[in-house]
Amino acid sequence: MPDYLDDLRLAHALADAADAATTARFQALDLKVETKPDMTPVSEADKAAEELIRDRLQRARPRDAVLGEEYGVEGTGPRRWVVDPIDGTKNYVRGVPVWATLIALMEEAEDGYQPVVGVVSAPALGRRWWAAKGHGAFTGRDLAAGTPIHVSRVGGLADASFAYSSLSGWEERGRLDGFLDLTRQVWRTRAYGDFWPYMMVAEGAVDICAEPELSLWDMAANAIIVTEAGGTFTGLDGRPGPHSGDAAASNGLLHDELLGYLGPRP
């Protein structure tokens, strides 16, 4: 089995470059922000970071495809890099430090492309998380100074911390009742949002999290980090991996109960 460590080193180098670009424009008074057709914001920093990553991948991995939030897919083949240049753009443009660059490498498998490398870098928080298939998950400032992370061992909802993004998405999809029922069963709820809940699940600080509408670039890096930390990452339909258009992540022990509240109902 490939060890993916060269790819992981490259992903860290890409994240270093993206961090430099995004932090340079964070809280800039003249930051340019546009509204995309889906009514979500995109800043000049989103575009610049993705362009930078694509350029470096073209030179370092010219045979690999790239899928990014801002510029779509380019190339074909059994390996595909998936990039969200700034996950949490609304936070970024408002000066909230909870945003990150998400970089994943996915490889073609029998059940579709699956993530094998993931890096989540949140420079305004001074945090980075990463994983490679078969090598575990880590956090730290850089690859040379990583600390292993693992999901929690909490086995009951009454003792569990549940993280989510917002209420509106659950209501729009007719799942608000199940969501509220779940919040009444757990020990604690917090709306951290974006990449952060998944990283806290991987670290064991949060036990379960879920979101009702996501794109592949929102999930690919998170999925490999959670699973390499010993957790479970699926869609709300229970399908493993980041392909369902929504996500549920847990320490594994609570996953069936999580899906029981938030998954499709007859």
pLDDT in tens, 73-102: 999 889 999 999 999 988 998 999 999 999
Alpha-carbon distance 99 to 93, whole Å? Answer: 10
Phi and psi torsions of 78, nearest 5°: -80, -10
What's the pLDDT band for 121 if we cut at 50, 70, 90? very high
Alpha-carbon distance 209 to 192, whole Å? Answer: 10
The percentage of the chain sitting over the pLDDT mark of 90, rounded to a whole number, equals 76
Average pLDDT over residues 113-125: 96
pLDDT at residue 45 greater than cutoff 90: no
- Greatest Cα pair distance, the chain, in angstroms, is 51
Phi and psi torsions of 205, nearest 5°: -80, -30
User: How confident is the model at residue 264, as a pLDDT?
Assistant: 74
What's the pLDDT band for 143 if we cut at 50, 70, 90? confident
User: How confident is the model at residue 38, as a pLDDT?
Assistant: 65
Average pLDDT over residues 257-262: 96
Give the residue with greater pLDDT, 174 vs 184: 184
Task: Kindly give, in sequence order, each residue whose CB lies less than 8 Å from that of residue 216, ignoring residues fewer than 6 positions away.
Answer: 67, 82, 242, 243
Give the tokens for residue 170.
Answer: 């659950």
* pTM score: 0.95
User: How confident is the model at residue 128, as a pLDDT?
Assistant: 97
Helices (H) and strands (E) in the chain, counts: 8, 15
Average pLDDT over residues 159-175: 92
Burial of 189 from C-beta contacts in 10 A (0-12 / 13-18 / 19+): middle
User: How confident is the model at residue 1, as a pLDDT?
Assistant: 62
Angle (CA) 238 254 147, round 5° = 100
Alpha-carbon distance 207 to 49, whole Å? Answer: 31
Where is average pLDDT lowest: 3-7, 15-19, 68-72, 182-186?
68-72
User: How confident is the model at residue 109, as a pLDDT?
Assistant: 86
pLDDT at residue 141 greater than cutoff 90: no
Pairing assessment for the beta strands 161-163 and 188-190 based on DSSP bridges: parallel
> What mean pLDDT, rounded, does the chain reach?
93
* HEC-encoded secondary structure of 28-77: CCCCCEEECCCCCEEEHHHHHHHHHHHHHHHHHCCCCEEEECCCEEECCC
User: How confident is the model at residue 3, as a pLDDT?
Assistant: 82
Give the tokens for residue 18.
Answer: 């993206």
H or E segment and range at residue 243? none
What's the pLDDT band for 266 if we cut at 50, 70, 90? low
Question: Which residues is 197 bridged to in the sheet?
Answer: none
